[in-house]
Amino acid sequence: DAGVIQSPRHEVTEMGQEVTLRCKPISGHDYLFWYRQTMMRGLELLIYFNNNVPIDDSGMPEDRFSAKMPNASFSTLKIQPSEPRDSAVYFCASGRPEVGTEAFFGQGTRLTVV
């Protein structure tokens, strides 16, 4: 398996624009997690899905953020409108916690909002 695949690896956008981050989890994993990492706040869990259903979105910072998982092999995290304070590295991870395994992380998307 190729692992968790995220795209794009880097994104630079202007304030006010819509940004969509994409993630393909590892096949067979039924949990998918979106994290955000910044120097100030460290690693934050934004939302996670189980079998494509959002379970906990309490980490989503505000209504400008939304996430979807239309099927088992694809998820998106959308920011609309984007703001400079959204600049961070966004990670997607997948796993099977029901069997005690770890989460596998993608390489991340580095987002810069100018």
Partner 1 sequence: GDSVTQMEGPVTLSEEAFLTINCTYTATGYPSLFWYVQYPGEGLQLLLKATKADDKGSNKGFEATYRKETTSFHLEKGSVQVSDSAVYFCALLNYGGATNKLIFGTGTLLAVQP
- Asked if 104 interacts with partner 1 (CB under 8 A), we say yes
Least Å distance, CB 50 to partner 1, is 7
Q: Segment near partner 1 (CB under 8 A), from 19-27, 63-71, 74-82, 99-107?
A: 99-107
Residue 57, amino acid: D
What Rg do the C-alpha atoms of the chain give, in angstroms? Answer: 13
Least Å distance, CB 59 to partner 1, is 10
Kindly write out the interface string for residues 41-60 of this chain, putting x where it contacts partner 1 by CB under 8 A and - elsewhere: -xx-x--x-x----xx----
Least Å distance, CB 33 to partner 1, is 7
Cβ pair 81, 16 in contact under 8 A: yes
Q: Segment near partner 1 (CB under 8 A), from 12-20, 21-29, 39-47, 62-70?
A: 39-47
What is the b/e burial string over 13-45, where b = at least 16 CB atoms within 10 angstroms of the residue's CB?
A: beeeeebebbbbbbeebebbbbbbeeeeeeeeb
